[in-house]
């Protein structure tokens, strides 16, 4: 493994509601909470056994995933940090409105995260995210700099401005579905399964899940499905239509946001089919030379599943900087 470091309101008031996990999970898994907003509830996992004075952290997941997918990654930090991980709109156990026909921008996720920053424990937080969640965390840190004490971006989806212009042309011509493969692939995803176990058996060790530990695949399935019929069938909480709409709507232009981020920032990227390629990293460093860049030579876009200890190490480093 190669590790190289370059140091270079619109929502109505919400009300937290505690929802305990099943008895078999109590004391092992985090507490699940539902936070009311004007158009539904945000489901959030909370690990609060660390000292109340410890740094507070909010994690945002990738498109099509859910908060529970990252349980094993975050549990390793639960003794040191106050941790929260949210099911983004249209994902996991959250019930916020998620109509694919209305999805036009990831800004709606930024607004959800900004609201959560204040509602969870009333404290500024380290923002950590993977893929789409990393990009959203970046936008939230720029929008509310006083509420972001640190930023850890794991494989964020950031395109050069030239590519952003090309995507906008495709959207204007109505060709995004045909020429942007992730949109079409997401639409074809199987949505309904005979059981959660059948879904787990179909996913583990295959395709995008090939490099994932089995416990992470199981958490992904449990956190990302809802009961469908009485005979045990489950369906994806993030529908294929919503997942594909997210790909079609994003990624956004975040270059002004990058210039506005004030907090210590670490970027963690893999070398295999990264969503943050080297030309983007070079442009980021020109705008914000103090970003810490961590390149993991054997990692893919699923870096948090493949190398969780590297991610935890970088989160601890940001927490130390933010808590001085």
Which pLDDT tens digit goes with each residue over 95-121? 999 999 999 999 999 999 999 998 898
Q: For position 18, what pLDDT does the model report?
A: 39
- Domain presence at residue 170: no
The H-or-E segment that residue 154 falls in is strand 148-154
CB 260 within 8 A of CB 252: no
Looking at the fold, whether 200 and 149 belong to one and the same domain comes out as no
Looking at the fold, whether 152 and 255 belong to one and the same domain comes out as yes
Looking at the fold, whether 70 and 196 belong to one and the same domain comes out as no
- Domain presence at residue 147: yes
Looking at the fold, whether 135 and 205 belong to one and the same domain comes out as no
Looking at the fold, whether 256 and 231 belong to one and the same domain comes out as no
* Domain ranges, residue 272: 3-159+251-322
CATH code of the domain in which 15 resides: 3.40.50.1820
Looking at the fold, whether 148 and 267 belong to one and the same domain comes out as yes
DSSP 8-state assignment for residue 126: E
- Domain presence at residue 186: no
- Domain presence at residue 178: no
Locate 256 and state its tokens: 């002004």
Q: Residue 43 and residue 302: Cα distance in Å, rounded?
A: 23
- Domain presence at residue 312: yes
Locate 92 and state its tokens: 């996991």
If one counts the domains in the chain, the total is 2
Alpha helices (runs of H) in the chain, residue ranges in sequence order? 71-75, 107-119, 132-143, 161-172, 176-179, 181-187, 196-203, 214-223, 240-249, 255-260, 278-287, 303-306, 308-322
Locate 290 and state its tokens: 């103090």
- Domain presence at residue 187: no
For residue range 154-211, list pLDDT tens digits in order. Answer: 999 999 888 888 877 877 777 777 667 888 889 999 999 999 999 999 999 999 999 9
């Amino acid at each position: 493994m190669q590790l190289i470091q370059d140091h270079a309101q619109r929502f109505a008031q919400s009300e937290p509601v505690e929802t305990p996990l099943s008895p078999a999970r109590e004391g092992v898994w985090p507490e699940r909470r539902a936070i009311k907003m004007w158009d539904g509830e945000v489901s959030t996992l909370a690990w609060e056994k660390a000292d109340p004075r410890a740094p507070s952290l909010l994690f945002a997941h990738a498109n099509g995933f859910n908060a529970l997918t990252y349980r094993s990654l975050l549990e390793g930090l639960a003794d040191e940090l106050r941790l929260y991980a949210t099911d983004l709109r249209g994902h996991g156990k959250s019930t916020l409105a998620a109509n694919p026909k209305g999805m036009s921008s990831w800004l709606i996720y930024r607004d959800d995260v900004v609201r959560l920053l204040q509602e969870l424990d009333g404290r500024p937080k380290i923002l950590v995210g993977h893929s789409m969640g990393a990009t959203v965390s970046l936008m939230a840190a720029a929008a509310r700099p006083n509420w972001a004490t640190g930023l850890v971006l794991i494989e964020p989806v950031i395109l050069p401005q030239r590519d952003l212009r090309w995507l906008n042309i495709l959207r204007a011509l109505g060709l995004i579905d045909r020429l942007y493969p992730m949109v079409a692939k997401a639409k074809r995803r199987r949505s309904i399964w005979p059981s959660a176990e059948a879904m787990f058996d179909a996913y583990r060790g295959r395709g995008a899940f090939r490099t994932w530990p089995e416990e992470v695949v199981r958490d992904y399935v449990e956190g990302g499905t809802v009961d469908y019929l009485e005979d045990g069938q489950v369906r994806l909480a993030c529908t294929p239509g919503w997942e594909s709409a997210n790909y079609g709507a994003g990624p956004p232009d975040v270059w002004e946001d990058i210039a506005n981020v004030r907090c210590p920032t670490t970027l963690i990227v893999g070398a295999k089919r990264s969503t943050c390629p080297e030309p983007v990293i070079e442009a980021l460093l020109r705008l914000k030379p103090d970003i810490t860049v961590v390149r993991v030579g054997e990692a893919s876009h699923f870096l948090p599943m493949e190398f969780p200890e590297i991610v935890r190490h970088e989160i601890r480093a940001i927490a130390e900087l933010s808590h001085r």
